[in-house]
Amino acid sequence: MKKLTRFGVSIEEELLSKFDKIIKKKKYRNRSEALRDLVRSLIVEEEWLDGKAEAIGTINIVYGHHKKGLSRALTRIQHDYHTLIVSDTHVHLDHDNCLDVIIVKGRTALLKKIADELISAKGVKFGRLTIATKGKDL
């Protein structure tokens, strides 16, 4: 186990109360665990913004498959970045809508570029990129 360091934090009562409600809802055992996760998340976000960090992530897109040319455009974009795409899962949500969950791996700047192209394709109703970096000391 890595060495732990204790430190104090000053925080307004109202903010702490809201934090406690959230950590209880999310089933954290204590504030320390929740705070460690927040710090890790902030570190990952900074690495992501750097654009150079290696990461794994998912691109989720919801779209209407009846939109003329959209399926072809989404496939073309994925083929343009085939070396960064690990897997793609296609789900039929209903008669008109589909969900693609695309697993990607590579430099964060490139993953963001792929996601931006997919999400901005005409006919995509919703899209989101979620990234996780390994982090050096996480």
Residue 65 pLDDT level (bands cut at 50, 70, 90): confident
Q: Are residues 61 and 23 in the same domain?
A: no
Residues 75 and 121 grouped into a single domain: yes
What would the pLDDT profile of 100-133 be if each residue is shown by its tens digit? 999 999 998 999 999 999 999 999 999 999 988 7
- Domain-ending residue, one of 28, 50, 72: 50
Give me the helix-helix angle, 31-50 and 108-119, nearest 10°. 80
Task: Say yes or no: 72 and 121 in one domain.
Answer: yes
One domain, residues 70 and 43: no
In a domain, 24, yes or no: yes
Cα–Cα nearest to 63, from 21, 23, 30, 91: 91
Of 68, 48, 54, 59, which Cα lies nearest the Cα of 118? 59
Residues 31 and 17 in one domain: yes
Instruction: For residues 129 and 36, give the distance between their C-alpha atoms in angstroms, rounded to a whole number.
Output: 23
Domain match, 41 and 71 both: no
Full residue range of the structural domain in which residue 60 is found:
54-133
Q: 78 with 120, same domain?
A: yes
- 91 in the same domain as 68: yes
Q: How many domains does the chain have?
A: 2
What confidence tens digit (pLDDT) does each residue in 9-43 have?
Answer: 899 999 999 999 999 999 999 999 999 999 988 88
Same domain? For 20 and 40 the reply is yes
Regarding whether 92 and 110 lie in a shared domain, the answer is yes
